[in-house]
Chains A and B, each alone.
Chain A
């Protein structure tokens, strides 16, 4: 379908597309809707004809501008901080680390320092684990490197990390307690662009006693809040695209 649209006039009606490719109209329409959702195809408002979409031009380059992610997620990051009472960060992968693209203070009006632009380790933070779990190339590259030990609890064996990443994928969120800093914990969930690709992670961090229950597990209510925030940001990326 994309090849057909890339050829000749580049503007085709649904019938033309279905007939040219020998597809039932319903089938062609379903495929076109999917392609439209990920912006590989656009429909002309006036003529209803289909053509290639802008996203194809940027295929392979960056999917979402970091500053744009901050703009789009501000409302939901604020809400997560208000609900959880913890500080919120949004991270994207950059150069083998987590780049903090957004930071909201813990809403207790204590003195805090804005951490936008900071780099965090991938293997020792919840944000980083999310980014690793959904990016096979990144996790492969990380496996080949030495995993730096930051605390007694930092995961330093690649096999152990692999197991954790599998768990992250199956539960849809990541947690960490004292793997990055003694006494501190974090919880994070994936942010996706239309089509499902994970482009970032949103999460909270705070003291272990606030984030984890007596068994040392991340508190279920907080996990739910983080996942909801991630869902809301993901939805807002679909809405306006």
Chain B
């Protein structure tokens, strides 16, 4: 069984030995935007959703808790919540990875001595995206919080930690643990030692007393006492890491792209800790057993969330998939480009002050062209990341394995194949994030013997072959790059304000 605590929804999925989906229950949770740039979620609502979907999935599968071999938890990364150790009540809402309230703080920290050392130790550039700046912001801005944290009365947790603590008893002896992949996204863990790093804690002013214990992805060793008691929790991984694992990208050099709220391309770099010269992050791929597997990551902040914005804020469609229907009412983008730098630009630019733009508007442009520009934005951002990976690796990527909610978009998948000029392949289980967590949990429990067995479960469900003319592709890419430059120009002319 896997619980996938994603940015937009939480899922509980049951798989059988052949990695076939047996049951799936899902619930969306609310997104709060209390101020421009702030993104929050209610950790209690998410916990309540887990409370509903776990029994629902069991019922659908027609099984009881004792038939569940093991549970793996996977989650949106960087998003975290603080809570009172004695009551289990959260201190405010969870701060989501898309939140950019720390823009000013980040600019300030950037000038602090030791900043080069920070990147060296945690593998990440300083950005609003990661947990540590937001945690620092809370410690600075919530009255009395720092003192409580220092006394150990307030606990910190990414969503895996929050769910495991609650599932294993909460105030009655709940486990306060996280896995290396989630810890590697906080900016507080040293990539080489895989421990909380005193220098990093000091740099961000975070008391060690509030942090969970870091464990390998497959050594969580908990047991549920609530919701559905008696299930072994044997694994936890960040969602992108779980997808890498679920796609069975076990070899050095293999790449996957997951398209959900954001888009995340990860490349397995083996046991070697590789640093990027082209704007990619160094992160832990996964750790099954004693040695970690490292990965390079290209993060795209806005992919599916641009579709959601189009649906909720512009109201031009009723559901996300209708974006494709609308896009097909026209034959091309009509010269219109959207660069969705809602939270600044992530990989490979890492420009916090960039803001989104729509360019190329003429009286000819209609909502169909805008819908195309929305989908194409994900394609071009992928191209930028793949270019960076190729440059770091010194070799071209041969194929891209994809998964996530947006892979149901046929037009988008074809477009990605076209702009990368390589085949795009979707595996038989589109819920690859959940599958990866189930794999890690099942391996830990001895349900599956080894990685080779898992690899044999990977089957091709769909393949999109590139079909765009070279000339057209390069012209369009040049247009996209010009549009991206305009977001930089905009950033320069408006200093960050709060």
Listed in ascending order, the chain A residues whose CB lies under 8 Å from chain B are 65-68, 70-72, 74-75, 78-79, 81-83, 103-105, 107-109, 112, 114, 116-117
Contacts and interface: CB of A to CB of B under 8 A. Distances in A.
Given A81-B461, A82-B18, A109-B459, 8 more contacts: A67-B321, A67-B325, A67-B409, A68-B321, A71-B320, A83-B20, A105-B462, A112-B463
Contacts of A104: 428, 461-462
Nearest to A114: B462
Given A108-B459, A109-B460, A71 B21 contact: no
A10 B321 CA distance: 31
Contacts of B410: 67, 70, 116-117
A70 B46 CA distance: 27
B18 A75 contact: no
A67 B322 contact: yes
Interface string B375-418: 00000000000000000000000000000010111100000000
Given A104-B461, A107-B459, A114-B464, A78 B428 contact: yes
B24 interface: yes
A113 B57 CA distance: 34
A-B CB proximity, top 7 nearest: A107-B459, A71-B408, A67-B321, A71-B321, A68-B321, A67-B324, A82-B20
Nearest to A82: B20
A107 B461 contact: yes
Contacts of A112: 460, 463
* Interface of A, helix, strand, loop or mixed by DSSP: helix
A65 B322 CA distance: 7
A3 B320 CA distance: 32
Contacts of A114: 462-464
Interface string B447-466: 00000000000011111100
B248 to A, nearest CB: 13
B191 interface: no
* Interface of B, helix, strand, loop or mixed by DSSP: mixed
Nearest to B405: A71
A70 B459 CA distance: 19
A67 B409 CA distance: 7
B210 interface: no
A116 B328 CA distance: 14
A42 B140 CA distance: 45
Contacts of B405: 71
A241 B409 CA distance: 20
B321 A65 contact: yes
10 contacts: A67-B321, A67-B410, A70-B321, A71-B320, A75-B21, A78-B430, A82-B19, A105-B462, A107-B461, A114-B463
Interface of B: 18-21, 24, 319-325, 405, 407-410, 428-431, 459-464
A104 B461 CA distance: 5
B431 A75 contact: yes
Nearest to A87: B461
A33 to B, nearest CB: 21
A109 B319 CA distance: 33
B224 to A, nearest CB: 24
A75 B462 CA distance: 13
B321 A82 contact: no
Question: Of residues A79, A103, A116, A117, which shows the largest number of chain B Cβ atoms within 10 Å of its Cβ?
Answer: A79
B14 to A, nearest CB: 11
Contacts of B19: 82
A107 B462 CA distance: 10
Contacts of A107: 428, 459-461
A142 to B, nearest CB: 26
Contact of B430 (A65, A75, A83, A116): A75
A103 B463 CA distance: 10
A74 B430 contact: yes
B325 A65 contact: yes
Given A70-B410, A74-B408, A82 B322 contact: no
A116 B324 CA distance: 13
B470 to A, nearest CB: 22
Contact of A82 (B320, B428, B464): B428
Contact of A78 (B319, B321, B325, B461): B461
Contacts of A70: 321, 408, 410
Nearest to A73: B408
Nearest to B18: A82
A65 B319 contact: yes
Nearest to A58: B318
A224 B22 CA distance: 15
A237 B493 CA distance: 48
Contacts of B21: 75, 78-79, 82
A104 B408 CA distance: 11
A54 B53 CA distance: 27
Question: Of residues A67, A105, A107, A109, which shows the largest number of chain B Cβ atoms within 10 Å of its Cβ?
Answer: A67
A79 B20 contact: yes
Nearest to B413: A114
A67 B408 CA distance: 8
Nearest to A101: B410
A53 to B, nearest CB: 13
A69 to B, nearest CB: 8
A131 B429 CA distance: 27
A103 B405 CA distance: 16
A54 B319 CA distance: 13
A78 B462 CA distance: 10
Contacts of A74: 407-408, 430
A224 to B, nearest CB: 15
A112 B425 CA distance: 12
A144 to B, nearest CB: 30
Contact of A81 (B24, B428, B464): B428
Given A74-B408, A78-B429, A82-B18, A68 B460 contact: no
B423 to A, nearest CB: 11
Contacts of B429: 78, 82
A140 to B, nearest CB: 28
A188 to B, nearest CB: 19
A105 B322 CA distance: 24
A63 B19 CA distance: 33
B98 to A, nearest CB: 22
Contacts of A103: 462
Contacts of B464: 114
A114 to B, nearest CB: 6
A117 B324 CA distance: 13
A56 B27 CA distance: 26
A71 B321 CA distance: 7
B385 to A, nearest CB: 24
